[in-house]
Amino acid sequence: MSKIAFVFPGQGSQAVGMGLDLFEESPRARQIFEEADEALGFSLSKLCFDGPEDELRQTINTQPAVMTASIACLKTAFGNGNSVQPAFVAGHSLGEYTALVAAGVLSFPSGIRLVKERARLMQEAGSQRPGGMAAIIGLDLISLEEICQETGTQIANINSPEQTVISGTNNGLAWSMDLAKARGAKKCVRLSVSGAFHSSHMEFAAEGLVKAVSKFDFQNPSIPIIANITAEPEATAEEVVDGILNQVCGCVRWQPSIEYMVDAGVTTFVEIGPGQVLTGLIKRISRDVKLVNVNSLDSIASLSL
């Protein structure tokens, strides 16, 4: 029997205006944006819809903004008693927190407050230990791991067979990119991020997150969550907490996560939230699955599963 999985994007999917069509036309989406504004104590919705873009792109704002737009999409598309029941949920980095809300581990107000604190900690960690990230295209993982050992960088995201992201100091990234090109990489691209995410540079954030999660009541997931850090299902609240704490400094194993779900019988992946980044990655991981985007009123109106 074929199965469906819901997947949620990370913070690279932000854009001014995201969610505005849903806010204007969907009472469920409007309620989510209003809940976010109330939980955070400022008008996140205004920032999402009107910008300014440079403020929206700050990690501390991007993460709660993308999560809010994603949950607004989820509630609009599937919040009316729709019979679609995913076999798994998963999210890329930030998106894993959206998956927690989708699986009932945290309420949306709790989830958005935790994400805001995660974002604050990550932004501060990036200021304390400056660094960044780079996408390496077309180089095998073993060769890239050897480069990281030479340069002091780390594998941050295993995104697809063609794309791996590394984190580290600016000098370490420059050295790594030069070595990667010399050893056959097709392309190396610095990412527009404010820190060396998913690396040891985030130790300050990891320590702060331990204190933050202690303030929230985590429930067992109602849907298995495929964890970034293990690429395997989490079935208990304890496993979920361990997963998000280890994720801060650990690698997002997106390709193995998708491969696990495909092997478990998933034939349709529904990317819910701004952009289509995950859809592009999943295409490169498995050519045999159906891919659906839920990111606007138009996409929801034409939804067919």
Task: Look up the CATH number of domain 3-127+199-301.
Answer: 3.40.366.10
For the annotated catalytic residues, the residue numbers are 93, 198
In CATH terms, 131-190 corresponds, of 2.60.290.11, 3.40.50.261, 3.30.70.250, 3.60.21.10, to 3.30.70.250
- Indicate the pLDDT class of residue 100, thresholds 50, 70 and 90: very high
Strand partners, 244: none
CA 36 vs CA 29, 31, 109, 170, 172: distances in Å: 11, 9, 6, 35, 38
Cα(243)–Cα(233) distance, rounded to whole angstroms?
Answer: 10
Average pLDDT in the chain: 95
Cα(26)–Cα(77) distance, rounded to whole angstroms?
Answer: 10
Tens digits of residue pLDDT in 117-163: 999 999 999 999 999 999 999 999 999 999 999 999 999 999 999 99
- The DSSP code for 199 is S
Mean pLDDT of 56-74: 94
The domain ranges of the chain are: 3-127+199-301, 131-190
* 41, amino acid identity: G
